[in-house]
Amino acid sequence: MPETLHGEALRRIAAITRQMRQLENELREAIVAARAVGTPVTRIAEVAETSRDTIYRWLRAAGSARQTGCDDTREEVARLNA
């Protein structure tokens, strides 16, 4: 019985982790899109409740994806999260 409970708990943790990664990917895509239309980094950071440094890091990563021939930001975000 305890093994079953442990397994259930671990499966829930794994599922939540997958959801968090998906949400982070969506957040990064939205941040790149907001910046692409000229939204100030400071405002993006405020709304995303994260630091400007994090926003700049994600934007640099997305920019390097385009420079390396990766046309899809989602692909780059997934690579960064791997």
Listed residue (79, 75, 78, 66) closest to 36, CA to CA: 66
pTM of the model: 0.70
C-alpha span between 79 and 21 (Å, rounded): 12
Tens of pLDDT, residues 53-78: 999 999 999 886 665 444 455 555 55
Residue type, 20: M
pLDDT for residue 76 = 53
Q: In angstroms, rounded to a whole number, what is the distance separating the alpha carbons of residues 41 and 21?
A: 22
pLDDT for residue 29? 94
Q: Which residue has the tokens 């400007």?
A: 52
- Domain residue limits, the chain: 2-81
Residue spans of alpha helices (H) in the chain? 2-36, 41-48, 52-67, 73-81
